[in-house]
Structure 1
Amino acid sequence: MNLGYCFYFHHVGSPSVIQTPYSSVVQSNYSLQLITDSKTYSRDCRKSNYYYQAIRVKVMETGYYALSSSSSIHTFGDIYEDDFNPMNPFENLLLQDYRSCSYEDFKFIVYLHTGIKYILVVTTSSPNMTGNFSILTYGPNNITLDPYTQSLTSCFIGQKCQFYKKSIGIILDDILRDEIRPNMTFTDQTILVKIVAALTMIMFIGGLINSTLSLLTFKNKDLRQVGCGIYLLASSVTSFLTLSMFTVKFWFVILTQMDLSIRPSVIRGGCISIEPLLKLCLYLDAWLNACVAIERAILVFKGIKFNKQKSQRIARWIILILTLCVMGSIIHEPIHRELYEMKTETNRVNIDRWCITRYSLSVQQYNTIILFFHLVAPCIVNLCSALFIIFGSALQRSTAQTRQTLREHVYNQFNEHRQLLISPIILLILSLPRLIMSMLSECVNPSNHRLLFIIGYFISYTPSMLIFIVFVLPSALYRKTFQESFKRWRRQIHR
């Protein structure tokens, strides 16, 4: 069969433009259609809403192949190598159809290799066009044409060639963004948004109660004669700040997506500052709890030689140093955070805003290590300190009380201090959802399992509500001090 085609096209790869008659070819036909449910993109980065079909092309033999289209909708064809990114139609572009002779559909010849993935994208010469089309292929051997579905769009923010590749990890912005209805009041939002708002306020109130009761306990001077009391007093403050920033973060996301008239400078300021401040409070709270565990282990190790005054001085310095170290470890976040804004035109102008981070590969790796360190290391410190306290106390008692074996002393100490082991394990389990979400691929779409992500996100902040339950209630000394402080506070109110 002699095609007799006259092909002129812009060729990005090699070989160059050719005109080839075939005397003996293998022919195949592939039929598809463009409908209003088909995916759209911007073919030329100027106009939007071009319907398209992406087709994977696989050849059995390396050589020249002719591809042509037959339709009534004036089709346009591009061939991509390795992958097709609808957010950037010029990326990986191998061959672009510039029309051939007087034909209204694409017709070209391309040199294809076996073992390489090619993507043929069929669209139209004008936006919003739909209809049926057929692809005819000619070549030295069979060509396999299969529909190609790419999940690439969930990796990007934006459209019409104005896009940004998302960083690794899922944050509250990603979880709720598609659920919030812009330019509508809160009463017109979805039931899920209202439920999440109610849960946020419940957590804030719970955190306020927890911090108030903890502050009431640890403001006692007797408890602050050692470092533990100072650490727990500071932790009472940071836990409240954590849940306060958690609440601020939620309402910032909701209000800035609901009201698009908010000044960009306000949104930019919140974008840069809120998430880093939230992480600062969260990480600092976890490390303060770890300091309590270390202090208790040192007390067991030193015994009667434990110096309370020295413990006080060291605790104050450690709180300052911890704050500076945590701030230094996440200082890259506000530097790399920015507001991404894009205007889209449909029947009216819409403004889409995203708070994004632009990390290089090295910074992304550092960020992952820091995240893992701040969430996991305090739990490991708590666990190791608890084991040291149990075995250290058992060893000391076995020396003084020889009637019982070391194993029996360990068993007794475990029963006495088991809350020291249970607490860090619970805190680690509660922190796991945040750790997992922070390390998820950038191409994970939260909308597919939105409820699961919301539950995980809220669970990861519950440790900040448990200071009073974890540290005060299990301790007879702290519980007694709280009861006395509470009675004193009530008497002051009723005066």
Structure 2
Amino acid sequence: MTNVTTIIDNSNHCPHINDIIFNKTIRDMPLAKRIKYYGHLCQRNHHMICFMDEVHLCFCDKYRDPDCLVFQRETLTECKTNYCQNNGQCVQNEFNGIWDFSCVCNECIYGSLCHLTASQYTFSFDMIIGQDILANQLLTSQPLVIQVVLSILILMFIIGILSNGVSLIVFKQKQVQTTGCGVYLFYLPIIGQFGLLFLIGRFSYLLKTQISDVNNRSIARWSCVILEYFINICPMCFNWLITCVAIERCVNVIKGISFSKPKSVWWAKRVVLILTIISLISSSYEPFIRQIIDDPRLTNRHTWCVIAFPSRWIEYYRLTMNLINLIIPGLVNFFVTLFILHRTTKMKQVVAKNQDDKGYWTCLKRQLPLYGSPILLIIFSLMRLIFSLTLVCITHQWQKYVFLIAYLISFCPLIMTFPIFVLPAKIYKAEFKSLMQRMKKLF
């Protein structure tokens, strides 16, 4: 027999939200809309341990984030219609004659309808910061993280215009396009800038659908499909074109003076076309897995663009394609860069006149600065791979920002065509200087 002694302490009291939310407009909101404001309650009331509403019992964790559970004060039954996504359990109850339901989500699935998840090694703004957006509020009234992300995206787009614009002019010169590398590099800034455009478009779409009412679901769905389709294709094509550049340089090193420039241009034009067609076809599943949902508890129509797989094989196919595009380009770049670095180091050993300069490691150290750009691209690929494979769940507030940083980093190569490909190469840098001199004469 064990005696248990407890003390009733007022500091452990879990107040009802009506006692701690003083804004009547928020108090009168439907539960599904009101719950978005619960995160501010824990942050503003530092000594509060828990609170409750008509359905949930919420605890404030050490990061001052609310962890809400369905609290069965009334009898809960399963919903006749399951409004929850991703195999979430829908439970309903009636409080003071008002019908309501709640979704019990599986691990690593979030949102009031269990509609947000980091599925199949891909991130999205919806999953990371979608729940932070306040409905029917001006942009200036949105949380700081939303305003910061918008500012970063605008900055990335402006930098991209400058970097990709100058790169496009340089790579358009006839002297540059005498080799296959020049052809590949010509299309890189175009794809990169389109990728940034669709990235901003996707974030704007999220803001629009969460802040304002959506009256035309058909337009909302096709906007969702088109944006997701191209935000998937642009980085994919960009990474594979970089891989083509690496392979072209590798072939050049292997063949040496027997390397045929006209033949490399002939092949490059066809590879770009084939690569584009394959990318478009391989991502053709996107229209079939995207759908628009909204919360039936809300009077305002705020839609979410979510993934719903109609069949198992499409899910496995998408997973396979994601892994291929995530791993293969980075691996090819890594091994090709190692091979070229090794081969050029051996060549430098042969032509070195001083015996002290003939050492392999001495020649290698001198070559490394020339390969800063490929190494930087490998680092970006490695970071993207690590983040994608390790970041699965958001259990703490700080993890959300890690997800956000990782997602934005994955788009950084799209704005860096100029520093990565123009500045390190003598021929491209010379073309850039010549371009600047011609512009000075005009002005």
TM class by shorter chain equals 0.7 to 0.9
C-alpha distance in 2, partners of 1:292/1:210? 18
1:268/1:339 contact within 8 Å kept: yes
C-alpha distance in 2, partners of 1:374/1:318? 17
1:387 aligns with 2:342: no
Matches within 5 A, 1:183-262: 183-262=136-215
Give the SS at the match of 1:368: helix
Residue 319 of structure 2, aligned match among 348, 361, 368: 368
Cα shift at 1:314: 0.4
1:178/1:447 contact within 8 Å kept: no
Cα shift at 1:368: 2.9
C-alpha distance in 2, partners of 1:41/1:445? 23
Cα shift at 1:255: 1.8
- The one-letter code matched in structure 2 to 1:127 is F
Cα shift at 1:483: 0.6
Cα shift at 1:291: 1.2
1:431/1:461 contact within 8 Å kept: no
Q: Deviations over 1:126-159 (max 9, x none)?
A: 5159xxxxxxxxxxxxxxxxxxxx7638625555
Q: Deviations over 1:157-189 (max 9, x none)?
A: 555xxx658561431111221111112222222
| Pair 1:86–1:378, CA change in 2 (3 A) | closer
- 2:408 maps to 458
Q: Return the TM-score normalized by structure 2.
A: 0.72
- The one-letter code matched in structure 2 to 1:388 is F
Residue 51 of structure 1, aligned match among 13, 38, 55: 55
- 1:296 maps to 249
Cα shift at 1:307: 0.5
Percent sequence identity is 26
Residue 432 of structure 2, aligned match among 466, 474, 482: 482
| Pair 1:465–1:77, CA change in 2 (3 A) | closer
- The one-letter code matched in structure 1 to 2:430 is K
Give the SS at the match of 2:271: helix
1:87 aligns with 2:89: yes
Give the SS at the match of 1:474: coil
- The one-letter code matched in structure 1 to 2:220 is I
Q: Deviations over 1:207-235 (max 9, x none)?
A: 11110111121111011100111111111
C-alpha distance in 2, partners of 1:441/1:389? 33
RMSD: 3.9
1:51/1:128 contact within 8 Å kept: no
| Pair 1:260–1:309, CA change in 2 (3 A) | same
Determine which structure has more spread, i.e. the larger CA radius of gyration. 1
| Pair 1:280–1:445, CA change in 2 (3 A) | farther
C-alpha distance in 2, partners of 1:256/1:454? 20
| Pair 1:152–1:239, CA change in 2 (3 A) | same
Q: Which structure carries more helix by proportion?
A: 2
> Structure 2: which 5+ residue stretches go unaligned?
1-12, 18-29, 33-52, 58-71, 79-86, 98-103
| Pair 1:433–1:176, CA change in 2 (3 A) | farther
Give the SS at the match of 2:295: strand
The aligned length equals: 374
2:118/2:393 contact within 8 Å kept: no
